[in-house]
Chain A
Amino acid sequence: MKLTLAQKLVARAAGRSSVTPGEIVTCKVDLAMMHDSGGPRRVKPMLERLGAKVWDPSKVVVITDHYVPTYDDESRKIIRIARDWVREAGIGNFYDEQGICHVVLPERGHLRPGMFAVGGDSHSPTGGAFAAYMFGVGATEMLGVLVTGEIWLKVPHTIAMDFSGKVSPGVSAKDIMLFLIGRFGLDGGQYQAVEYRGAAIRALPMQERMTLCNMTAELGGQTGLISSDQVTKDFLKLPNLEAWESDADAPVLAHHRFNASDLAPQVAAPHSPANTKAVTEFRDVKPTLAYIGACTGAKLEDLRMASLVLKGRRARMRLLVAPASLRDQKAAENEGTLKVLQDAGAEFLGLGCGICAGYGGNVLGEDVVAISSTARNFKGRMGAASSQVYLASPYTVAATAAAGRICDPRELLQ
């Protein structure tokens, strides 16, 4: 029987030799990740009500990112609960103000090809970039995992997104995802497994692959997957390459083929990531704010893209940068990438989800028009309901900042 990567990962976690799409299975969870918002403050009272303990504290990772830096009594209380709870529950894997959970988790070596993992956040499919089955759950479902170490799953079909060729200079994983979401809609993934394949995907560095799998959430897939290869091995510093991949000719629900070489930079207009067109369609839009932030838009690779465009240029609008992790921030500083952004006039925000989550500290004011490297532009998500957010790659956000209007980064990279 030919199996997809998704089937292999689920079968392993279910203790089975194979599984069939559509059947309901119970999987053992190798890793449960939580952040400060949906994590300790929500699960602690429920665990207490049950009188239950965490099934295996060594398999739990807690990362603060939504309410850091703290800015008021409520956020301080939420972070305090997280800090106290990890101590009480004996959770050793605690990363406090180190960056955004989806970036910190693999950066600190918690993901391995072949794993089955859940995260208390919708962008948890990011873990699929490492050939791990990872998906988002809510707080009560997380409670179930913490108590039992298990979770039910309807074995997914696989939707293959196959990109031949190579993305052009100035085009990135974010453009691939905005294109796919525009093409297939917010429910195009049908809550199945979306597998990214082909020469253009293989050529992407790890953090770009993470951006693809991350935004599988906006495509409506349960998880996004990429088979493991040398790039995975090198990023995770694994001693050996553990090959996790779909069998050739394993049946899939759909196999969509594209040539990445044809892809132009994409922009999603307010208020949906599916509201996508080529960047050239938006030349007349003049944002007042450019934002480079979030797990899907401010990793080291993302900061490098922005700096390539902004080198020797000044931003003609407010440019805010919130690096996705402390390690990436330091690496960007050491290699001079941050200096380029600084010289272009960027203001830096603290480590964390920042404006993307819209949870407090910094949010968009009334009628602000922003261009942002984040994942979602739903109405009111990043602040006032009257704010207008255009989504684009770090290249395009940087080019827009430099041009004073939405700009094709390829014009500035020549």
Chain B
Amino acid sequence: MKAWVLGDDIDTDVIVPGRTMKFGIEEIARHCLESVSPSFASSVGKGDFIVAGRNFGCGSSREQAPGALKYLGVAALVAESFAGLFYRNALNLGLAALVCVEAKRIRDGDRLELDFHNSSIADLTTGENLPFEPIPGHLMEMVRDGGLLPHLEKRLKCRTTS
């Protein structure tokens, strides 16, 4: 699906404004990225991608930043690099955060397809294939389970049944 291209150092205050933090995720998501991409929250489609430069998600620990993107149907985040805390938060919510050093080759609106098996992003608009770094092995099971909460749920269930 379609790429929404953003720049470097996109911070969590820009992703989800602080004044909305007191509300639930539905209301927070309505303001997602509004100061840099006013039409994003209302027109992002299910399965779309965020494509960003360096240090995506820097700033706060607020998990609602990846949470709002996931809520709006974003399929995966592709960036040259992620802020470490945001990266952990995204994977903990089961939202794929993929490091792609060539992310800047992707243009706004390009149609993308992910190939997890080969760790590559197909840009169907330009015909390019861009490799991404696989999600670290020790986190893959958690991401496959849909995030840390369902992963813990599974682990605790196993413990009680065994």
Residues of A within 8 A of B (CB): 24, 37-38, 42, 46, 49-52, 66-67, 72, 74-75, 78, 120-122, 124, 135-141, 143-144, 147-148, 152, 154, 185-187, 191, 217, 220, 222, 272, 274, 357-360, 363, 376, 378-381, 383, 385
Contact = CB atoms under 8 A, between A and B. Distances in A.
A122 B59 contact: yes
B156 to A, nearest CB: 6
Given A24-B136, A380-B17, A140 B147 contact: yes
A332 B89 CA distance: 38
Contacts of B140: none
B111 interface: no
Contacts of B35: 379-380, 385
A259 B34 CA distance: 42
25 contacts: A37-B62, A46-B149, A49-B153, A66-B21, A120-B61, A122-B85, A135-B85, A138-B88, A140-B63, A140-B89, A140-B147, A147-B152, A147-B156, A185-B9, A187-B58, A217-B59, A222-B84, A222-B85, A274-B9, A363-B19, A378-B11, A378-B13, A379-B36, A380-B13, A381-B13
B54 interface: yes
B22 A140 contact: no
A378 B36 CA distance: 12
Contacts of B59: 122, 217, 376, 378
B61 A49 contact: no
Given A46-B149, A121-B61, A141-B148, 12 more contacts: A37-B21, A50-B156, A72-B22, A122-B85, A141-B89, A186-B55, A191-B85, A358-B17, A359-B19, A376-B11, A379-B14, A380-B17
B18 A381 contact: yes
B152 A143 contact: yes
Given A52-B156, A272-B9, A376-B13, A137 B54 contact: no
Q: Pick the most buried of B55, B84, B93, B156: most chain A CB atoms within 10 A of its CB.
A: B84
Contacts, number: 126
Contacts of B153: 49-50
B138 interface: yes
B68 to A, nearest CB: 13
B23 A140 contact: no
Contacts of B60: 121-122
A272 B63 CA distance: 21
Contacts of A187: 9, 54-55, 58, 81, 83
B19 A186 contact: no
B13 A379 contact: yes
Contacts of A220: 55, 58, 83-84
Given A141-B92, A143-B149, A186-B55, A360 B63 contact: no
